[in-house]
């Protein structure tokens, strides 16, 4: 763990806590390391989604009905 780490209190569902403890023992990682890794992955996915939204910001908008028609025409619906 980095010396720049911040301390935080979180409340876990008892079953999640038990699973986390077992995963920690199984992988020889601390519970904090596992939580940090999972949070990094989740936040990274959010950042990728936001980047995709930014890339498409200038695309024209279509209505829901137009999208359904397009999907039916392409055989995807």
Q: Which tens digit of pLDDT belongs to each residue from 3-61?
A: 678 999 999 999 999 999 999 999 999 999 999 999 998 888 888 888 888 888 888 88
CA 4 – CA 32 distance, rounded (Å):
14
DSSP state of 28: T
pLDDT, position 30: 96
DSSP state of 59: S
Name which of 27, 31, 24, 32 is nearest 2 in CA terms: 32
55's tokens: 């890339």
1 Cβ contact list (under 8 Å, min separation 6): 30, 32, 33
Put simply, whether the predicted model's pTM sits higher than 0.85 gets the answer no
Q: Is the pLDDT of residue 72 over 90?
A: yes
CA 34 – CA 11 distance, rounded (Å):
15
pLDDT, position 71: 95
């Amino acid at each position: 763990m980095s010396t720049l780490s911040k301390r935080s209190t979180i409340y876990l569902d008892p079953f999640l806590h038990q699973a986390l403890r077992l995963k920690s023992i199984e992988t020889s990682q601390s519970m904090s390391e596992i939580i940090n890794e999972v949070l990094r992955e989740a936040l990274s996915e959010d950042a990728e989604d936001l980047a995709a939204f930014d890339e498409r910001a200038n695309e024209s908008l279509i209505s829901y009905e137009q999208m359904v028609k397009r999907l039916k025409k392409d055989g995807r619906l």
